[in-house]
Amino acid sequence: MVWVLLRLGAGPAWPFLYVLYKHLPAMRSLLAAAALLRYLLCWALNALSGRVPDLVVKGLALIILFLLRLRPRPELPEDPEVFLAQHGVEVRLVPHEIISDHLACYNIALWGVRIRPRAARRLGIPSGQVWMSEALRPWRHFVLFHEVAEVIFRARGFHGLAGHQLAEEEELLRWHSDLSWLDMNARRPWPRRHLVVLAELLRGWPSLGRTRRLREH
C-alpha cells in the first residue's frame, strides 16, 4: 500500500522508512502500531490532496477512518485551559519566528511522568509551560486541546508520533462539523489538508466516526 502511494506521487520513500525505523522498537501495543500506521497514511493523504484524482484521495481517507476503530478513547478534558491551570501549567504566546518549526510545544509533568519533547529542549521551554505561536491565537482553544490530549496520550505510553496522531484524531472526531476548526486547518501555518478531507467524509457518513473504547495495553 505504501509503495503504491509513493508511485502516485506522495514523495520519496525515506520519510516512511525513517519513521518506521525510529518507532518500531518502541511500539508497546497494537493500538500504538495502528496509530503510527494512520500517521503515515495521513502524511500521504496530505501530500496527495489536489495532486491525484478525488477517487484515490477518498479511498485513502476511508481506509484511515476505518482504522480509527483501533484506537484508545480515554477521558479527555473539555476545557484545556482549566486542566492546565489545575496542574499548575502556564500558557505562553510567543513570537511565531521562535516556534515556527513546531507551532506549539510543552514541558509538563503529568501523573509523575515528565513529558518534554526534544523540541522543548531545543527551545528551552521551562518546566510547567506550554508555548504557542502568536499566529495560532485565533484558534487557541483547538491548539491547547490538541496539546493537552497529546500530553495525556504520551503519559499513557503512546510516545512520539503515536501520541500526536491520537490527539489529532480527537480533534477530528469532536469538530469535523465545526466551521472555526475547519477554517483553522485550511489557514494555519502548515495547513492540515488531510483533516479537511477526513472531516468531509465524516460529515457524510457519521457512522465512520463511531469508535468504541478499547484497552490501551
Domain count, the chain: 2
Confidence label for 49 from pLDDT (cuts 50, 70 and 90)? confident
Confidence label for 6 from pLDDT (cuts 50, 70 and 90)? very low
Q: Rounded mean pLDDT of 62-86?
A: 94
Q: Are residues 84 and 150 in the same domain?
A: yes
Q: Are residues 70 and 85 in the same domain?
A: no
Q: Are residues 5 and 36 in the same domain?
A: yes
In-domain check, residue 171: no
In-domain check, residue 22: yes
Mean pLDDT estimate for the chain: 86
CA end-to-end distance (rounded Å), the chain = 27
Q: Are residues 47 and 85 in the same domain?
A: no
Rounded to whole angstroms, the Cα distance separating 30 from 33 reads: 5
In-domain check, residue 166: no
Neighbours of 51 (CB within 10 A): 11
Q: What percent of the chain has pLDDT over 70?
A: 82
Q: Which range, of 134-143, 170-179, 185-194, averages the lowest pLDDT? A: 185-194
In-domain check, residue 84: yes
C-alpha cell at 209: 466516526
The total number of residues written for the chain in this structure: 217
Rounded to whole angstroms, the Cα distance separating 155 from 110 reads: 7
Q: Are residues 142 and 194 in the same domain?
A: no
Which among 107, 125, 155 is the end of a domain? 155
What residues make up the domain containing 57? 1-74+177-217
CB 173, CB 146: distance < 8 Å: no
Provide the pairing of β-strand 129-133 with 90-94. Answer: parallel
In-domain check, residue 20: yes
Q: Are residues 87 and 148 in the same domain?
A: yes
The set of long-range contacts for 86-93, using a CB threshold of 8 Å and a minimum separation of 24, is 88/128, 89/128, 89/129, 89/130, 90/128, 90/129, 90/130, 91/129, 91/130, 91/132, 91/144, 92/129, 92/130, 92/131, 92/132, 93/132, 93/133, 93/134, 93/137
In-domain check, residue 167: no
For position 29, what pLDDT does the model report?
79
Q: Are residues 68 and 92 in the same domain?
A: no
For the entire predicted model, the pTM comes to 0.83
- Please state whether 11 falls in left (phi above 0), alpha (psi between -120 and 50) or beta: left
In-domain check, residue 161: no
Q: Are residues 61 and 106 in the same domain?
A: no
For position 201, what pLDDT does the model report?
93
